[in-house]
Amino acid sequence: MTLADPNYKTFSGRLRRIEKAHRKGYGFEAQGTMGRSSSWRRERTFGKTIRVVLVLLMIGWIMKGAIYFYVGDEVYEQRVAGLATGSDFDPIAAKIMSADPVTKLVASFLGEVFPAQRQ
């Protein structure tokens, strides 16, 4: 490219404009490429946190219901009672693992779906 090139003037003007924008902090991206705007950070909101907690609680209840269904109500209650007589964290775990209505509901649903699987 020489100084006599007719496109040199527009090219150098465009280059000066881009450099000026870069100094101001702007960025340029080609259409369809992954640049600064394609990498965005998700905002953590209270609603998303609540949804995650609710999903984890539902998974916990389903797991408790599956255990309650598989071992039976007598054995389950004996194991929870044995856990309640322990020390440190055991009574708290026994309170969490005690059979609540949701656990019994999940176990009854599993009993309807898998009637021959119970021991």
77-107 confidence digits (pLDDT tens)? 999 999 999 888 999 999 999 999 999 999 9
Residues contacting 94, CB < 8 A, separation 6+:
80, 81, 83, 84, 86
pLDDT tens digits, 5-54: 778 888 888 889 888 888 887 776 667 666 655 555 667 788 889 999 99
**Phi and psi torsions of 43, nearest 5°:** -85, 140
The answer to whether residues 64 and 103 touch, using CB atoms and an 8 Å cutoff, is yes
Give the pLDDT score at 103.
93
Q: What is the pLDDT of residue 66?
A: 94
pTM: 0.59
35 near 29, Cβ under 8 Å? yes
Q: Is the pLDDT of residue 61 over 70?
A: yes
pLDDT at 1: 52
